Structure 1
């Protein structure tokens, strides 16, 4: 069976779908399966010029928005690149971004295209303050879900909560499938260690949606309570300087280390003790599963895919979104009680191996793909 995995970003950075799909290719390497990966190189800009027509709405109603214009141009570029580079037939295409799915169906209208939706661009833009609720951009981006439903052969997402989110934007939400992300356990190697001072770590893009301002304020409370810790922030983004300034203002800059972007954080994350990320929204939250596989205790917000991964008090701790004191209380629990922290980490690792292993995803996908043979 000839399969094409259509990504948006090149699979060159770890985390989520970017790391899962190349690992899938290795697991599908057998005489019965032939899998290729395809994505749009970052160097491709303003190459596509064909007019765009959607089947379920008129995108021109939103064309005055620069964000919409950029999105449409990227879609045109993806179609141009697809026509330039792909000319052989496939039995099935599995797309992992709306642009990829719609472009593939445009170029290969007779080929079954399965569409996985891993995250919500409009929610990210809203939470990061780049667009407003009810704006042209939000209405355009949410209209794409119904277009995907109409054009592709089946929709999937990564969590029950995100499926619920999509309900308002499609005609048949009951037909949306759920396939959580899977992770290659070989990438994550827990390291036995004893840190005299509890080491907290977070890995994310530095944007408002990740709630790192809440984390820094919670860490200020920890310091005021006389608790010792070090916070490691791995990642980069547009609000890095703002967060560094906030850490200084709160008097916790000496306890906080900003690493910037790191290509393979899983290589040293196992040496820390607690993974914490107070996101304001997450479709799935791949970093929690990855941190669990590194045997770290998990602390997150009771939102989206995070709350589907964590049973609070069993394999991690959940706190309300935006609640500084509740986050500080949860972190205090895992700082002052190492035995409790180790138990959370052990249970979290077992849960992640059982529910989010790459073998499980491979098994589910093979069954699914064979339905289209």
Structure 2
């Protein structure tokens, strides 16, 4: 079984999945990187030495080798890339391929009526509806976008991103969290409008007014950083909100492991949100907006985390206060969150389901698992429940 994964560049959210396939397949697994990583991502600590990874090939250095790998593999996994023509022949060949996509109408599904846009989507997706080309939905709202253009009917499956999964002995990550003292809360990401970091400052002020004991670890940088820093100082919150700037991924995970609650405030422009995987794996009770792609797939409200609807600050604040005032429920949600990642939404299971998919396809059938990666993706409309 030869599997090739082609995408713009490899990053730390994809490496665990690719590593699992490489361990299972050896040289029969390859990853083609089509372009260097953007400088902004490099500055965020996402830099990866692609040349040091044994299964990675760089299209811009080995074009002929990479084109051969695309045509010769048994199963092609195709993520986002600028040069769609690289895979067009393979997708129309009758050999199995799987597209991996975030939302195509993230800024509004009304764009699906654009004639020019539909022509592009036909060339890229719709024309393969009767070919063995399938779709992995890297986000809960992806299936609804593709249903609007009638692409991949009956061939859409759940997927996502799979950062490193850590397994802990004893009580799990709970052992790393203080039992006494302030409730430790963490937010991590780029400080930009779509991620709504201003919720953190509003929350800090409201929690202080309620007399609750907490510390917020505010991790990240971006265009709103100076404004937020000024507000924190102006409101006298510097003793309760600790600003870190950007940290290396390992340092972010350490703060998550030490925290009881993780805040995820991004809006609908967040395609997935891998910090949710990481926070759940760290045993945090996550309070998350319903709009980003990861949330409906990973979190069951009040079971392994808490979801507030459509960016409501009031619901967000109420969820955080509830978790602070109900310690045992908070602990249980953290434990269940950890179990969700370790038992289901992890790279090892995603890689195993990928290989199982191809083995079943060879036998003339597709048998999706009941849940998790490669299970059937329900159509979930933004702002509405699944149907």
Q: Normalised by the shorter chain, which TM-score bucket?
A: 0.7 to 0.9
Q: Distance in 1 between matches of 2:115 and 2:278?
A: 30
Q: Distance in 2 between matches of 1:338 and 1:98?
A: 45
Question: Superposition RMSD on alpha carbons, in Å?
Answer: 3.7
Aligned to 1:324: 313
1:290 and 2:278 are equivalent in the alignment: yes
1:302 and 2:286 are equivalent in the alignment: no
Q: Distance in 2 between matches of 1:326 and 1:139?
A: 39
SS at match of 2:29: strand
Q: Distance in 2 between matches of 1:233 and 1:106?
A: 47
Structure 1 contact 199–274 (Cα < 8 Å) conserved: yes
1:233 and 2:218 are equivalent in the alignment: yes
In terms of fraction of residues, the more helix-rich structure is: 1
Q: How many residues align?
A: 328
Q: Which ranges of structure 1 fall in alignment gaps of 5 or more residues? A: 46-77, 128-132
SS at match of 1:331: helix
Alignment of 1:157-176 (within 5 A): 157-176=137-156
Deviation, 1:299, is 0.8
- CA change 1:266–1:134 in 2 (3 A) is same
Q: Distance in 1 between matches of 2:267 and 2:122?
A: 22
Alignment of 1:6-25 (within 5 A): 6-11=6-11, 14-15=12-13, 18-25=14-21
CA deviations 1:137-193 (Å, max 9, x no partner) are 997599447623435822221344321133223445443222344455337772513
Alignment of 1:185-204 (within 5 A): 185-186=165-166, 190=173, 192=175, 193-194=177-178, 196-204=181-189
- CA change 1:146–1:259 in 2 (3 A) is farther
1:206 to 180, 186, 191: 191
Alignment of 1:249-288 (within 5 A): 249-261=234-246, 262-264=248-250, 265-281=252-268, 282-288=270-276
TM score, norm. by length of structure 1: 0.74
Q: Distance in 2 between matches of 1:158 and 1:347?
A: 22
Deviation, 1:306, is 0.7
Alignment of 1:80-229 (within 5 A): 83=63, 85-86=65-66, 87-88=68-69, 89-99=72-82, 102-105=85-88, 110=93, 112-117=96-101, 119-120=102-103, 123=106, 126=107, 143-144=120-121, 147-150=124-127, 153-182=133-162, 184-186=164-166, 190=173, 192=175, 193-194=177-178, 196-229=181-214
Structure 1 contact 122–142 (Cα < 8 Å) conserved: no
Deviation, 1:243, is 3.1
Q: Distance in 2 between matches of 1:333 and 1:244?
A: 27
Q: Which ranges of structure 2 fall in alignment gaps of 5 or more residues? A: 40-57, 363-387
